[in-house]
Amino acid sequence: MKSFDIPEYYRSRIITPLKEFRRKRDKLKRDFSPTLLDFGPVRVLLARHFGFCYGVENAVEIAYKAIAENPGKRIFLLSEMIHNPDVNGDLQSRGVRFLMDTKGRQLIPFSDLNPNDVVIIPAFGTTLETQQQLAALGLDVVKYDTTCPFVEKVWNKAGQIGQKNYSVIVHGKPSHEETRATFSHSKETAPTVVVKDMAQTQRLAKYITHELPVEAFYEEFAGQYSVGFDPTRDLQRIGVVNQTTMLASDTQSIADYLKQVMIQHYDLTGDSVDAHFANTRDTLCYATNDNQDATYALLTSPADFAVVAGGYNSSNTSHIVDLCEAKLPTYFIESAQKIVSDTLILHFDHHTKQEITTENFIPAHRPVTILLTCGASCPDAVVEGILLKLAGFFPDSKSVDDVLETIMQ
């Protein structure tokens, strides 16, 4: 497994060794059970998989390498490196400036750039149109391109089925950087349309079966289809790919649903299904799958509440929050600073996009059991801070060293 050179302050003296301990004992990743940190009056169940993934560590390494290799030069990030405020804030403190926000709105005009500037492409990738604009200005868009290889895998899959004359259905959030990039790459080889959820997929099916008029499609899916898309022609042969951070079960449900629509509409059997529906399989990244599977395993343990750490605009983190919320009280926080005291926590409701306050979130009984995990763009150091903050509310707790010694003996 490749080791990345990332700043030590993103690692943790507690979390990082625990993750490595579990990895060595389960190299084939068959054990998704959580790690129990028993402090006595408080018990913390830590998910088996969470935190920086391959793509994020690769992106962070390249970004700091760009800073080290270009003293005195202006350095720009196309948009947020990853959806984590700690990482983006640290890069900004080192002089890195963002050219666009996460919605693609321009913050600094490309016309202000010159060929001597350094531009970093974030882990989500970017659109072909943006790449061409930057290249036309004489900027190197390859040297510090941190696009996650699993995102590129989706682009390749879309290209492959496009070459076989299938149209591409992208399951993703239409405004998300990764989905915008995937859409841009996919439409180069295939008619492409984005669906954000099952409800929108069910609407799309009505255009496959001709239950809705073609004209309505263009209004209903405005901004989500490629130029020249013709529902009558381009929904006869389809394949599904996704934004890599979507909920796996949602993408599978969408693919299964569309497959059944095609089977019923065209009266397909056996191998004839391939004539109208491409076998793309799941295009979620391994980290998204592992983190979601680890969350399902985490939720089999009885607990009082869950804490999920990550950037509030992180797609993969929000899906972990959704899984936890379905089972027990869940607090979505950026860092330990949001835990104001043992009676007050500030946390994010990603449905309303607002930070809210909850009082008396720690129950009075003992022991208290807490589930703890985070998204793929959250540093181990952030999880450590949350763990220590929570354990610190119980003065008669065992020491961290004693708890770690019990686990890793």
- Please write the tens of the pLDDT for every residue from 129-152: 999 999 999 999 999 999 999 999
**pLDDT of res. 94:** 96
Active site residue: 80, 178, 334, 384, which one? 178
DSSP assignment of 213-263: -HHHHHHHTTTSB-TT--HHHHTSSEEEEE-TTS-HHHHHHHHHHHHHHHH
pLDDT given for residue 81 in this prediction:
86
The pLDDT score that the predictor gives to residue 286 is 80
Mean pLDDT computed over 209-232: 97
The percent of residues above 90 in pLDDT, for the chain, comes to 90
Residue 289: predicted pLDDT: 87
CATH class of segment(s) 8-53+286-407: alpha beta
pLDDT of 1 above 60? no
- Predicted confidence (pLDDT) at residue 283 exceeds the cutoff of 80: no
The yes-or-no verdict on residue 322 having pLDDT over 60 is: yes
Look at 147-151, 158-162, 279-283, 356-360 and tell me which has the smallest mean pLDDT: 279-283
Q: What is the mean pLDDT of residues 365-374?
A: 98
Express as a percent the part of the chain with pLDDT over 70: 99
Nearest to 47 by CA among 267, 257, 292: 292
| Intrachain domains 8-53+286-407 and 149-275 with the same fold | yes
pLDDT higher than 90, residue 228? yes
What is the CATH class of 149-275? Answer: alpha beta
Distances (CA, A) of 350 to 64, 194, 298, 319, 356: 30, 21, 21, 10, 10
Domain residues of the chain, as ranges? Answer: 8-53+286-407, 54-136, 149-275
Strands (E), 131-272: 167-171, 192-195, 238-242
In this prediction, residue 333 has a pLDDT band, given cuts at 50, 70 and 90, of: very high
Average pLDDT over residues 249-261: 94
Averaged pLDDT for residues 317-326: 96
pLDDT of residue 409: 77
If 0-12 CB within 10 Å is exposed, 13-18 middle and 19+ buried, where does residue 241 land? buried
Residue 296's pLDDT is 97
Q: What is the pLDDT of residue 45?
A: 98
Architecture label for domain 54-136: 3-Layer(aba) Sandwich (3.40)
Q: What is the pLDDT of residues 79-113, one digit of tens each?
A: 988 889 999 999 999 999 999 998 889 999 999 99
- Residues 389, 338 contacting (CB under 8 angstroms): no
Interval 233-239 mean pLDDT: 98
pLDDT higher than threshold 70 for residue 28: yes
Quickly state the pLDDT bin for 247 (edges 50, 70, 90). Answer: confident
- Summarize the confidence of residues 178-194 as an average pLDDT: 97
> Tell me, what's the pLDDT at 282?
66
pLDDT the model gives residue 2: 67
Q: Average pLDDT of 322-342?
A: 97
Question: With 80 as the cut, is the pLDDT of residue 284 above it?
Answer: no
What is the predicted pLDDT for the residue at 233? 97
What is the per-residue pLDDT for 406? 93
Mean pLDDT to the nearest integer, 164-177: 96
Which H/E stretch holds residue 178? helix 177-186
Confidence of residue 274 (pLDDT cuts 50, 70, 90): very high
Query: How many Å is the Cα radius of gyration of the chain?
Result: 23
pLDDT value at residue 213: 96
Is 384 a residue of the active site?
no
Amino acid at 364: A
Average pLDDT value for the chain: 95
Q: What is the pLDDT of residue 346?
A: 98
Task: Give which of 330, 325, 270, 324 is closest to 305, Cα–Cα.
Answer: 330
Q: Look at strands 354-359 and 344-349 and give their pairing.
A: antiparallel
CB atoms within 10 A of CB 82: 26
